[in-house]
Amino acid sequence: MDEKTKDKVETSAALLAQAAFSALPIVGGPISTAFGYAISHAQQARTQRLLDDIVADLERLALKLEDEPGVEKVVKSDQFIANITVAVRAMQETADQERIQYLRNALVAGVKKRWRSKSEPLLHRAIRMTAMHISVLEAIVELAGHNARTVQGGTVAVRDQLAIMHRKRSEAHVSHLCDELAAEGLLIAGKPRTGPAEEGRSVRLTYQGLDFYNYLRDRD
């Protein structure tokens, strides 16, 4: 990635930190002023670290895709600048490193030819997710054998798979998260069962859900 491209990427997101803190009310007085300055400085430093990581990811991607034309052009495009603006804003709003990591993956994956045309809606969907949503989706994909099909055992099987992944949650919580993933079109969740609790609710992975999972995990 050339220096002009780096500058454009970094400047775009760095402006977010300035805008965010220009909106903070700073009440008069030396203590308030010093506190406001310290917070603003810390936020700008944190934003710079986020940008450094994104640029490093983009440079690695550029090396991997040397034979794919248009990567440099995409990074300079209005679409990518729009994507990095919303992605960095979402990263600024969380301290969850796992969430920051998958948002970085989502942003960078959108540069690839496979995802470019739908990078904006995919990224916005990723921003609406939490790390736990992604873990539930991953568990479902594994149980479905990476195919768009029904998960044998439903939400109970998903709960047990999450425990194996060291993400233990109750079946009721899993069911709630499945409803939210279903609202995004990533799966189809059946109605709550009235029979034995061990049967769980039916869960069917959709092609859209599998596509979104592959987008988030596209690191090659």
**Same-domain pairing of 150 and 110:** no
- Tell me phi and psi for residue 187, to 5 degrees: -155, 170
Closest CA to 87 of 41, 128, 141, 132: 128
Neighbours of 112 (CB within 10 A): 18
**Same-domain pairing of 39 and 108:** yes
Handedness of CA 164, 167, 172, 177 (dihedral sign): negative
Q: What is the average pLDDT score of the chain?
A: 83
Q: Is the pTM of this model over 0.95?
A: no
Q: Residue 185 is part of a domain; what is its CATH number?
A: 1.10.10.10
Residue 204 forms beta bridges with which residues?
150, 188
Q: Are 128 and 185 in contact (CB under 8 A)?
A: no
pLDDT digits (tens, 9 = 90+) for 30-47: 555 555 666 777 888 888
- Section 180-202 average pLDDT: 82
Per-residue pLDDT, 94: 92
Number of folded domains that form the chain? 2
**Same-domain pairing of 62 and 113:** yes
Q: Are 134 and 196 in contact (CB under 8 A)?
A: no
**What is the C-alpha separation between 209 and 213, in angstroms, rounded?**
6
Determine the residue type at 65. L
Residue 79, domain extent: 3-128
pLDDT digits (tens, 9 = 90+) for 62-102: 888 776 666 778 888 899 999 999 999 999 999 999 999 99
